[in-house]
Amino acid sequence: MSYTYEYPRPSLTVDCVVFGLDDEDLKVLLIKRGVEPFQGRWAMPGGFVRMDESLEDAARRELQEEAGIRPNLMEQLYTFGAPDRDPRGRVVSVAYFALVKLSDHRVHAATDAREAAWFSVYDVPKLAFDHADILATAHQRLKGKVRYQPIGFELLPPKFTLTQLQRMYEKILERELDKRNFRKKLLAMDLLEELDEVEQDVSHRAARLYRFDHKKYKQLEKAGFNFEL
């Protein structure tokens, strides 16, 4: 029979930073809290970890329960454990960040979330707890990682133009990229499959569509290929 020592211990939560992308900006998913503390304040989706679940299972459950989101790409970000980060007591949070295609996810609030919505990462309301710090940390991770791993394709539709691809990187990196050099470098990797299709229902000249070859990237990665922009 196991024995648990009787001394104060912290509680454990998960918080999830979910990024999406539209024609205007890089977005982050927020929920409006329906309960105290910080009732009515915007926050990251998240909650307490149950005794019978892993950290990632808890993160995925909270995203589904609070916003109806099921991300394909999700990874652990950082642990936030400042003693005063939660007014309910000593609470340690393991944060995750995820990328989703906005067109695939219609968010809806549930459980203890009053509302769920997408905000520009550059124009978020005042956040509950230490979630502003969590968002800043996740954004920096995304800006760094998108340059050496092709995770940005998780934000794009399955078929995209080279202009959409460049804008995605520019929105994340917060700087303009030289069109000629950008396309030359990406196409030289031979990871983009040119399709016999063009954009539909656009007012300008329809551009060629491309698709990222995930299978080929995995093969090249095993052979030591480095994706780097």
Active site residues: 115
The SS3 call for residue 101 is coil
Alpha-carbon gap, residue 148 to 143, rounded angstroms: 10
**What does DSSP assign to residue 67?**
H
| Whether the bond into 37 is cis, omega within 30 of 0 | yes
Beta bridge partners of 30: 117
CA atoms within 13 A on the CB side of 40: 0
Q: How many Å is the Cα radius of gyration of the chain?
A: 20
